[in-house]
Every structure is written in C-alpha cells, then in structure tokens.
C-alpha cells in the first residue's frame, strides 16, 4: 500500500460522526442539517433540458481537454465576469468539479524529490488541500486566519524559510468557512512571494457567485490583470458550477491560468482518466452561458441571510459574511464541539464545529470556539434551525 495514505487525517464529517455516535437527537424535532455545504436550491430547468437533449453523447468517449465549445463557453464567462481574456486552446481546461482538480493539481506541480517540499494553505481550510499535499509527498504548512481582521489569513505569520521551500500555495476566496474575500493588496503580496520563491498559486473560487455586497468578489485572474501580470505566471484558478448553478451532482468546473502549468496538468489528467461526459459538457455550456439563474440563486441566499443572520446575531457572535453560504459563528461558552453535540441532542440541529476544520498551528487551533453553519436549505428550514439555536442558547 502507498505509505502516504497513513498520513491522511479523517475528514471533518467522519470525525463528527464519531463524536455524535451514541447521541439520540430529541425526537420532538425533525432533523435539520447545517453541517454539509451541499446546495439545496432547485437545479435550473435549462440545465436539465440540456442533459436530456444531449443523451446521445453517452455513446462517445470524451476528450480530456473537453470540447472546444465548452472551453469557449468558460472563456466567455471569464471575460464577462472578470474582464479577463483567455486563450481557449491553452489557458482553460474543464474538470470534474473543483475538488478533484484541487487534488490533481498538487500531484502535477509538486516535486517530492526536493528536500522539504511544502504546500502552504489557510487554516481553517478545505481538507482536500492537506490531503493533496500529503499524497503528493509534500508537507502542509498551515497559515492561521486572524480573528481581528474578519478571519483573513495572516500570510505574514508564515516564516521566510517556509516560503523558500514552498512549491504550492492554496488560497480560497471567498473563503471556506469564513466567507472572507481577499483584496487586491493581499493578492499583490502573494504574487510577489510567488515571484520571489517560484511557487504555484492555486486559487479556489467555487463560492465566487454567492455574495452579499454590491460589488462581486475580486478573482485571482482579475487581480493579476489589474497588477499588470498579463501571462498569469504560476497562477491557476479553479471554479465550479456546483454552488453557482445548484448542480453538485454534475461534477463540473474548470481551471484557468498559466498555460505552462495547464499543459502538464492536461497530460496528468489524460493518464488519470479525468474526462468529462459529453452530456455534462453540454449541460455545462448551457450553465456557463446563462446568468439569469445565477442572479435568482444569489437573491435567494441574500433573502435567507437577511432573515437568519440578525436572528442569530442577537444571541451569538456572528455577522453577514462577504460571500459564500456559511455563517462562521462564535460558540457561546467557547467549546465548539460541546455546543454542536448538545445542540444536536436537544434540538436536532446539526452544525460543524470549527475546530474540525482546522489544525493546531503556532500553539492554537484557529477554528476552535466557532461553528460553521451552511445555510443551503430553504428559507423556512433555515429560519426554524436559527430559532431552535436561539432557544438552545437562551436556555443554557
């Protein structure tokens, strides 16, 4: 067996299942899950129609590079959304969801023969970053978020000697679980570090289309262009239809950026068998080409957060995030695990303890004392969950 597998940590939801084993939730309440970030809004009809209209594609092997029409649809969306022009032949690749691409990218760009090969990632973080690093033969380094700065990542806390051996940096903006969006100044700092040390930046932007401010979140390609970086050197952006278009089961997204990275990435994916079904490609073309359903979806989240956030803010430390569909809230009493277990037992509401989304670094776990709530269900169900949480806190 691959010995690197032994280095993997249990996934947060697996750890939560172990913690809740033996808990019998109060049967007086129907279960409500706010733990998993799985979109629950309806899948748009135009995507369903595109699937049923293109079932003949099941009879054909797909190319790993995807159909030119799909790459062109992705490039057109980037142009509309960010004002960035890409070459559809060399600077974009379809992927089977951003999760598999985040993992596969590390396997492509990491050279484990170099001593001290390191992958830097935010902390708290999406656990694929850590697993990808470990299975690529690298060592993760965790950059803690700063609670005093709306949980933005404190990149300055990464020692200079760590940057010298870093080969890959994962960033997530809008962030999971915090919802924080990286400003241009932060991108400038990271680009300068990448230029100095030669590492690749992988920008996870799967939450970019769910936001609550007037201005949409700044993307990495957009930031690079504003800073005069025309060739997107050592930069790869990863995005997905799952949250934007409510199709997590389609497993569809794309990566874009440095052509010199995407060329070997395509080679890796060809051997790995990561080709998107022609049916999913057709549905993806339809999805990337339509913004009406995205605006409607965003408005649903805005209406939901506008009702739920003030209700919870009356009893706990929580505020409207910049973007995303999570509330990153302080657990009254400070023990996020105990809070989650007692809430489940007494009110049958599942939330995710923040400490399970982070690692101890610098003597602290930056997720400790907070909980992540995914407001992915309908307004009524999320409001009921919030009301139960209020009752739970007031009764403690």
With respect to residue 56, please indicate whether it lies within any of the assigned structural domains. Answer: no
Mean pLDDT of 158-163: 97
Q: Which residues pair with 241 in a beta bridge?
A: none
pLDDT in tens, 59-92: 999 999 999 999 999 999 999 999 999 999 999 9
> Is 122 found in the same domain as 21?
no
Last residue within a domain, chosen from 290, 322, 337:
290
Last residue within a domain, chosen from 246, 272, 290:
290
**Beta strand 253-257 pairing with 235-240:** antiparallel
Last residue within a domain, chosen from 257, 290, 323:
290
With respect to residue 54, please indicate whether it lies within any of the assigned structural domains. Answer: no
> Is 350 found in the same domain as 377?
yes
pTM over 0.95: yes
With respect to residue 204, please indicate whether it lies within any of the assigned structural domains. Answer: yes
pLDDT in tens, 245-266: 999 999 999 999 999 999 999 9
Handedness of CA 90, 92, 252, 6 (dihedral sign): positive
With respect to residue 271, please indicate whether it lies within any of the assigned structural domains. Answer: yes
pLDDT in tens, 298-355: 999 999 999 999 999 999 999 999 999 999 999 999 999 999 999 999 999 999 999 9
> Is 334 found in the same domain as 285?
no
> Is 105 found in the same domain as 254?
yes
pLDDT in tens, 11-31: 999 999 999 999 999 999 999
Rounded to an integer, what distance in angstroms lies between the CA atom of residue 84 and that of residue 92? Answer: 12
What value, to the nearest 5°, has the Cα angle with vertex 105 and ends 3 and 219?
Answer: 140
> Is 362 found in the same domain as 281?
no
What value, to the nearest 5°, has the Cα angle with vertex 113 and ends 107 and 115?
Answer: 115
**Average pLDDT across the chain, whole number:** 97
Mean pLDDT of 360-379: 96
> Is 188 found in the same domain as 66?
yes
With respect to residue 372, please indicate whether it lies within any of the assigned structural domains. Answer: yes
> Is 162 found in the same domain as 124?
yes
> Is 280 found in the same domain as 373?
no
What value, to the nearest 5°, has the Cα angle with vertex 30 and ends 27 and 31?
Answer: 100
CATH number of 300's domain: 3.90.1150.10
Dihedral (C-alpha) 240, 244, 246, 251: value to the nearest 10 degrees? -10
> Is 273 found in the same domain as 309?
no
Total count of domains within the chain: 2
CATH number of 136's domain: 3.40.640.10
The pLDDT of residue 158:
97
Mean pLDDT of 106-127: 97
Mean pLDDT of 267-288: 97
> Is 99 found in the same domain as 229?
yes
Band of pLDDT at residue 156, cut at 50, 70 and 90: very high
Tell me which residue range forms the domain holding 346. Answer: 3-42+293-395
> Is 187 found in the same domain as 116?
yes
With respect to residue 202, please indicate whether it lies within any of the assigned structural domains. Answer: yes
Rounded to an integer, what distance in angstroms lies between the CA atom of residue 4 and that of residue 255? Answer: 26
> Is 131 found in the same domain as 81?
yes
Residue 123: phi and psi, rounded to 5, are -140, 110
């Amino acid at each position: 067996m691959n010995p690197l597998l032994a280095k993997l940590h249990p996934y947060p939801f697996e750890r939560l299942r172990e913690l809740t084993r033996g808990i019998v939730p109060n049967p007086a309440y129907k279960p409500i899950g706010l733990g998993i970030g799985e979109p629950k809004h309806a899948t748009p009809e135009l995507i369903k129609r595109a699937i049923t209209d293109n079932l003949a594609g099941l009879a054909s092997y797909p190319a790993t590079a995807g159909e030119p029409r799909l790459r062109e649809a992705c490039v057109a969306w980037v142009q509309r959304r960010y004002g960035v022009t890409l070459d559809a032949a060399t600077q974009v690749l379809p992927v089977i969801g951003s999760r598999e691409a985040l993992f596969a990218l590390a396997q492509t760009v990491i050279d484990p023969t170099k001593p001290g090969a390191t992958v830097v990632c935010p902390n708290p973080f999406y656990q694929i970053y850590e697993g990808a690093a470990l299975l690529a033969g690298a060592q993760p380094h965790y950059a803690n978020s700063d609670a005093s700065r709306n949980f933005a990542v404190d990149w300055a806390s990464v020692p200079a000697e760590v940057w010298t051996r870093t080969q890959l940096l994962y960033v997530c903006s809008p962030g999971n679980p915090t919802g924080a969006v990286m400003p241009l100044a932060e991108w400038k700092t990271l680009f300068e570090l990448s230029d100095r040390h030669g590492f690749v930046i992988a920008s996870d932007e799967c939450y970019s289309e769910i936001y609550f401010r007037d201005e949409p979140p700044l993307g990495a390609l957009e930031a690079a262009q504003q800073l005069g970086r025309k060739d997107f050197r050592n930069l790869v952006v990863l995005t997905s239809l799952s949250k934007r278009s409510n199709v997590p089961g389609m497993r569809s997204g794309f990566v874009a950026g440095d052509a010199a990275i995407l060329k070997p990435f395509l080679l890796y994916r060809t051997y790995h068998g990561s080709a998107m079904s022609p049916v999913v490609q057709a549905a993806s073309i339809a999805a990337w080409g339509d913004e009406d359903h995205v605006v409607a979806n965003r408005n649903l989240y805005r209406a939901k957060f506008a009702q739920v956030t003030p209700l919870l803010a009356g009893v706990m430390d929580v505020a409207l995030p910049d973007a995303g569909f999570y509330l990153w809230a302080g657990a009254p009493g400070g023990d996020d695990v105990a809070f989650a277990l007692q809430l489940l037992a007494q009110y049958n509401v599942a939330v995710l303890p923040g400490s399970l989304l982070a690692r101890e670094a610098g003597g602290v776990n930056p997720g400790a004392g907070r909980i992540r709530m995914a407001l992915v269900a309908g307004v009524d169900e999320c409001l009921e969950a919030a009301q139960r949480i209020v009752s739970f806190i007031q009764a403690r």
